[in-house]
């Protein structure tokens, strides 16, 4: 929000220059990273872009509408599986990408409504548990739907998923543009970047829209919101469906990018990781959520260096880096809630709310003392 405001305050010419510079930076980024840090880091950036989309989707449900969803990864799974099943040797179907991606989004949205409908009357903590159960149910089904008819191929997952292909351009091929080599990771970067930017744009516009304000009103006080004429049922369902759509799209992209998916990728811990991104960055603030997604995708990669470090210092590996990551996630959730509940980059409304709460308490204490 604030960033956009700052931009608007600039005179038009400077605004364009800033935009142009940012665009140039984003275009050059994968090639620069490739040259200096190596191709694995380009891949990490690709994954970070996917997680930005995912986190923005969860932010609609948790951040805007205030509905704590602990099974969000299920929508990611639904999107990924609906793409993978229709574009792999599993059923010998190879549908076109441009058709399958919207289809995956639609299927995910339907699942979002299916989850939302029975849980509409529930609040906060109950909702959290039901969504958690829903996520687990989806995973258990994915794991077991290989018998008696093999649909999901069970725990082995689906392999050889078609890469992204539009018209004659396949992203699995390497292209050269003059002296520039465009490897698959680079092409995926641009596709994901476009999608992530679109998600950011949609999120920002949604936040300021009639619907977005209705979500925030429901988050603040559902009773008051419905008294103001908001159809809370439809608006909450819309939040679920919209969040699920984001998840479905990124799931489809994830499946085509990885070429392989299995139920392993869609566990509760993944849901919690996405939740961490939203909480850490700042619930309800688009910029904060993007920041959270980038930080938490980069973190495990940075932690990869911890293993050899331990080896060097202690002679053996005490803490497995992936466990360390989970320990850090857990501490981050606790510490953020205790010391900075609005996130690293809080939204203005949230900050105001929390400040008001403090004021009331302070006044009460002052009264009691006086």
Partner 1 sequence: MDIFLQQIINGLVLGSIYALVALGYTMVYGILGLINFAHGDIVMVGALVALTVAQALASSGLPAPLILLLAAGAAILVCIALGITIERIAYRPLRRAPRLAPLITAIGISILLQYTAALIWGKQYISMPELIKPAHFVVGGAQFTELQALIFLLACAVMAGLLWFIKASRVGKAMRATEQNPDVAGLMGVDINRTISFTFLLGSAVGAIAGVMVVLYYGLGHYFMGFMLGMKAFTAAVLGGIGNVAGAMLGGMLLGIIESLASGYIGDLTGGVLGSNYRDIFAFLVLILVLVLRPSGLMGQQTGERA
Nearer residue to partner 1 within complex by CB, 45 or 127: 127
Cβ 291 to partner 1 shortest distance, Å:
18
Nearest-angstrom CA–CA distance, 216 and 64: 5
For residue 209, count other CB atoms closer than 10 A to its CB.
12
Cβ 274 to partner 1 shortest distance, Å:
12
Cβ 15 to partner 1 shortest distance, Å:
37
Nearer residue to partner 1 within complex by CB, 43 or 219: 219
Nearer residue to partner 1 within complex by CB, 106 or 120: 120
CB 286, CB 203: distance < 8 Å: yes
Give me the phi and psi of 94, to 5 degrees please: -130, 80
Cβ 333 to partner 1 shortest distance, Å:
3
Give me the phi and psi of 356, to 5 degrees please: -60, -45
Collapsing DSSP to helix, strand or coil, 166 comes out as strand
Nearer residue to partner 1 within complex by CB, 149 or 312: 149
Nearer residue to partner 1 within complex by CB, 134 or 188: 134
Cβ 222 to partner 1 shortest distance, Å:
9
Question: By the criterion CB under 8 A, which residues form the site for partner 1?
Answer: 66, 68, 70, 118-119, 121-126, 128-130, 132-134, 136-137, 140, 144, 147-148, 268-269, 272, 275, 279, 283, 318-319, 323, 326-327, 329-334, 336-338, 341, 353, 357, 361
CB 72, CB 58: distance < 8 Å: yes
Nearer residue to partner 1 within complex by CB, 187 or 347: 347
CB 123, CB 134: distance < 8 Å: no
Cβ 233 to partner 1 shortest distance, Å:
14
Nearest-angstrom CA–CA distance, 98 and 249: 11
Nearer residue to partner 1 within complex by CB, 165 or 310: 310
Cβ 3 to partner 1 shortest distance, Å:
25
CB 86, CB 93: distance < 8 Å: yes
CA distances from 143 to 109, 153, 162, 266, 299 (A): 22, 8, 21, 11, 29
Phi-psi map region of 23: left, alpha, beta (phi>0 left; psi -120 to 50 alpha): alpha
């Amino acid at each position: 929000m604030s960033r956009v405001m700052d931009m608007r305050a600039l005179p038009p010419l400077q605004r364009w220059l800033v935009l142009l510079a940012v665009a140039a930076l984003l275009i050059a980024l994968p090639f620069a990273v490739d040259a200096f840090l190596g191709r694995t880091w380009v891949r990490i950036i690709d994954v970070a872009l996917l997680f930005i989309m995912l986190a923005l989707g969860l932010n609609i449900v948790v951040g805007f509408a205030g509905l704590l969803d602990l099974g969000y990864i299920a929508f990611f799974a639904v999107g990924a599986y609906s793409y993978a099943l229709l574009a792999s040797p599993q059923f010998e179907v190879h549908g076109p990408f441009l058709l399958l991606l919207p289809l995956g989004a639609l299927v995910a949205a339907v699942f979002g409504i299916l989850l939302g409908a029975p849980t509409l009357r529930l609040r906060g903590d109950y909702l959290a548990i039901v969504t958690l159960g829903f996520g687990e149910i989806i995973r258990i089904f994915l794991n077991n739907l290989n018998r008696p008819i093999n649909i999901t191929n069970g725990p082995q997952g689906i392999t050889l998923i078609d890469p992204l292909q539009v018209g004659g351009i396949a992203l699995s091929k390497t292209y050269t543009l003059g002296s520039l080599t465009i490897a698959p990771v680079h092409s995926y970067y641009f596709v994901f970047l476009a999608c992530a930017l679109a998600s950011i744009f949609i999120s920002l516009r949604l936040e300021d829209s009639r619907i977005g304000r209705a979500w925030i009103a429901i988050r603040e006080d559902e009773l008051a919101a419905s008294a103001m004429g908001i159809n809370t049922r439809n608006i909450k369902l819309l939040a679920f469906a919209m969040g699920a759509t984001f998840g479905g799209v990124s799931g489809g992209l994830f499946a085509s990018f990885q070429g392989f998916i299995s139920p392993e990728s869609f566990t509760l811990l993944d849901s919690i990781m996405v939740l961490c991104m939203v909480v850490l960055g700042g619930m309800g603030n688009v910029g904060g959520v993007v920041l959270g997604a980038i930080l938490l995708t980069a973190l495990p990669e940075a932690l990869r260096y911890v293993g050899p470090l331990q080896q060097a210092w202690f002679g053996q590996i005490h803490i497995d880096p992936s466990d360390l990551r989970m320990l850090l996630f857990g501490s981050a959730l606790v510490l953020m809630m205790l010391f900075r509940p609005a996130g690293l980059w809080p939204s203005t409304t949230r900050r105001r709310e929390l400040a008001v709460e403090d004021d009331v308490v302070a006044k009460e204490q002052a009264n009691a003392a006086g």
